[in-house]
Amino acid sequence: MQVLSGKMRDFPSCFGENGVQVADSSSSSTSRAAQNLVTCVYQCRLRGRSCLITVTWSKNLMGQGLGIGIDDSSNQCLCKVDIKPWLFSKRRGSKSLEAYSCKIDIYWDLSSAKFGPGPEPLEGFYVAVVVDRQMVLLLGDLRKEAFKKTNATPVTSNAAFISKREHIFGKKVFSTKAQFFDNGQIHDLVIECDTVSVNDPCLVIRVDSKPLMQVKRLRWKFRGNHIILVDGLAVEVLWDVHNWLFGTSLGNAVFMFKTCLSPEKLWASQPLSDPNLLPWSFSQRFSDSKSQSHGFALILYAWKNE
């Protein structure tokens, strides 16, 4: 891995107005429990039609929660199931829904699931979406158990993992796990930034302990983008740490890691010669990542612990 040098470009001034939409209602919430969720989006096909399956993992004082929604290519909701947080019940079950005039069966078993500090299970579980005995989406490591329970044809689903939104917490160091490409290596991703005890804050991003990006004079470069190389492929990094530096103690920073086919195609799609062609906001880029059949976007909301 290495840093790929490129011209730094600030986001447009309207980013502060548009970009906040990316955080949805959680950006204004004062409850950390409400922010403890992970949202994953998968691109699949239902009877030949493209669709998006959104899986949301949540955690609060009542326990773990799971939500599954299916949207068509125009982002119209086809069906949705919400498994509310549980303590001792609903860890295993199924539900049948209707969409595209076909029956959709959703199965889940988290009775033996192991969790880390976050809401997303680490192992010992499965979540399956089945249409006409075809496995459209299968999550978790209990694959044999899932196929046995669902009676689905034992063919691996071709669902593509296209985006993930996650909330992370820390004082100076924020860490998570990241897999930027299908079947790629799972990396340790660390964001380091001390905005309290230093006069000139510096932003450092590390992948597997290796520093791949450093932004000095952060008070002047609190929004921007850069490209790093991970697994030999280009990943565009976008950041907005305005709330860390100039906002309230409840403010969060936003980071996006978006895979690119190549640096040349990335810059070609956003010419620098025309000043009127400003970079997209986070919300626009996230919508674009959901509509493409390739690429992946990881969005992190980083909250500083008091």
The pLDDT tens digits for 48-105 are 888 999 999 998 888 889 999 999 877 788 888 888 877 667 788 999 988 777 889 9
**Region for residue 140 given its phi and psi (left: phi exceeds 0; alpha: psi -120 to 50; beta: otherwise):** left
Q: State residue 249's pLDDT score.
A: 63
**pLDDT digits over 173-222, tens only?**
999 999 887 777 889 999 999 988 788 899 999 999 999 999 999 999 99
Residues whose CB is less than 8 angstroms from the CB of residue 25 and which lie 6 or more positions away in sequence, other chains included: none
Q: State residue 294's pLDDT score.
A: 55
Q: State residue 35's pLDDT score.
A: 61
Report the alpha-carbon distance of residue 44 to residue 99 in Å, rounded. 14
The torsion angles phi and psi of 296, rounded to 5 degrees, stand at -145, 145
Best-predicted range by mean pLDDT (19-23, 112-116, 137-141): 137-141
- Reported as a pLDDT band with limits 50, 70 and 90, residue 145 is very high
Tokens of 112: 């033996």
pLDDT (mean) for 145-149 = 95
Report the alpha-carbon distance of residue 174 to residue 177 in Å, rounded. 11
Higher per-residue pLDDT: 113 or 46: 113
Secondary structure of residue 206 in the 3-state scheme: strand
- Per-position b or e across 105-116, b if 16+ CB within 10 A of its CB: bbbbbbeebebe
The torsion angles phi and psi of 116, rounded to 5 degrees, stand at -95, -155
Q: State residue 188's pLDDT score.
A: 94
* 277 within 8 A of 145, measured Cβ to Cβ: no
- Put simply, whether the predicted model's pTM sits higher than 0.85 gets the answer no
**pLDDT digits over 246-303, tens only?**
876 667 999 999 997 544 444 444 433 333 323 334 444 444 444 344 589 999 999 9
